[in-house]
Amino acid sequence: MKNYDLICFGGGLFSNEEKNFIQENKILENNIKHLSGSDELLIELYQKAVALIYPSLYEGFGLPLVDAMHQGCPLVISDTSCFPEICGEAALYFNPLSVDELINKMDKITFDNKIKNDLIAKGKKRANFFSWNKCANETLEVYKKTV
């Protein structure tokens, strides 16, 4: 069995409460890393990751999901909020309140290359639906209609 690191990117350092929880529960204590940095570093992490795990309960849109799909990073994400609308069939979904569901989806993405490769292909295709140029043009059209 491979040994994986859990990389938490951005969002500030772990709080004392989070550090204590990790230490008390011996949860991958030596394999959890907090990083922050440039977009280039984040892109490199997406490209090397087994998956982006995104257990959010609510998001306004979910730009990290689109960024990850664009970089060929498969997604294991909450079945909440706007995620199914953004990702369609390009992700494995789980109930963010169910540890068992998360573990099941992580096992699938880790040990089933067919599922992983399928999600990567679907993700790259799905990411093409979203671009800054498209967003700017659609926003401009809304402005034109309101003026």
Confidence class for position 27, pLDDT limits 50, 70, 90? low
Model confidence over 59-85: pLDDT tens digits?
878 889 999 999 999 999 999 888 999
Question: How many C-alpha atoms does 49 have within 13 Å on its Cβ side?
Answer: 25
- Whole-number Å distance between alpha carbons of 13 and 62: 21
Q: Which domains does the chain have, with CATH numbers?
A: 37-146 (3.40.50.2000)
Model confidence over 79-125: pLDDT tens digits?
988 899 999 999 999 999 999 999 999 999 999 999 999 999 999 99
Where are the alpha helices (H) located in 31-131, listed in sequence order?
A: 39-48, 63-70, 83-87, 99-111, 113-127
Would the pLDDT of 46 be above 60?
Answer: yes
